[in-house]
Amino acid sequence: MERTYRIGTRASPLALKQVEEALVMLRRFYPGMRSKVIGIDTYGDKDKATPISEIEGTDFFTHEIDEMLLKGEIDFAIHSAKDLPDELRNGLFIAAMTKSIDPYDALVSKSGLTLDKLPESARIGTSSLRRKAQLKEYRKDFEIVGIRGNIEERLMLLNKQRTTNDDQRKSRAKSRDERRNIDAIVIAACGLIRLGLSHRITQRIPLEILRPHPLQGSLAIITREDNIKLLELLSIIDSRKEILS
């Protein structure tokens, strides 16, 4: 393959690891495949204040990359499949969906305690409405805290130390930032694995407690629907073919 394919992705460390993962799969079939990775800071990467609950199902994390695809500035894009909007932009197509490397939600706790052993009224940081509702259903005493940011930023929240009651009162008077003093966070296990941080997983949360997003751990490869040659090339790693066969 003499051509160099331009691959669009978010610029985070996790997104770049996902591109590496997809390229390993593709190069099993196309050993000479050349690529140029273009990292793009999307609006979703810059805006770390809007709650995930307000943007689920939208193109919050993909809009700028979609624009570049439609303009022909990149050849295809690689996303976490669960980041896709409910409806793709006209002119775009999912060329391939990979198998999930791990569908579970993971608990990372400051104390090393599992979900059932966390103290009463423990503060759990997470982003999605799905996780928040199911965690509350499991233990009503949990205080669920909305958090944003990449995986590294979320893990850093666990480094914040608990303050005294006086300090807490002063802090509340100055700010309603609920991200401080978090006892544990819940994030996708696949993200930790891809970043080489699987040792940080305290517990893979049982499916009867947290039912993960159906596309969690899978990657989606998107290109223009009129690029028939590229669609055919990329579909070689499409796991949906196995379901249909």
Highest CATH level, class, for 4-99+218-244: alpha beta
pLDDT at 79: 96
Helical H runs in 47-104? 63-70
d(CA 149, CA 154): 6
pLDDT at 226: 96
Whether CATH 3.40.50.1000 fits 105-204: no
- What does residue 145 show for φ and ψ, rounded to 5 degrees? -115, 125
pLDDT at 242: 66
pLDDT at 43: 78
d(CA 219, CA 114): 28
> Per-domain residue ranges for the chain?
4-99+218-244, 105-204
**Ranges of residues in the chain whose predicted pLDDT is under 50:** 162-179, 244-245
pTM score? 0.85
Nearest alpha carbon to residue 78 among 17, 33, 27: 17
pLDDT at 18: 98
pLDDT at 175: 40
**Domain pair 4-99+218-244 / 105-204, same fold:** yes
pLDDT at 162: 47
pLDDT at 166: 47
Residue 234 DSSP SS3 = helix
pLDDT at 111: 94
Nearest alpha carbon to residue 155 among 94, 221, 110, 95: 110
pLDDT at 128: 85
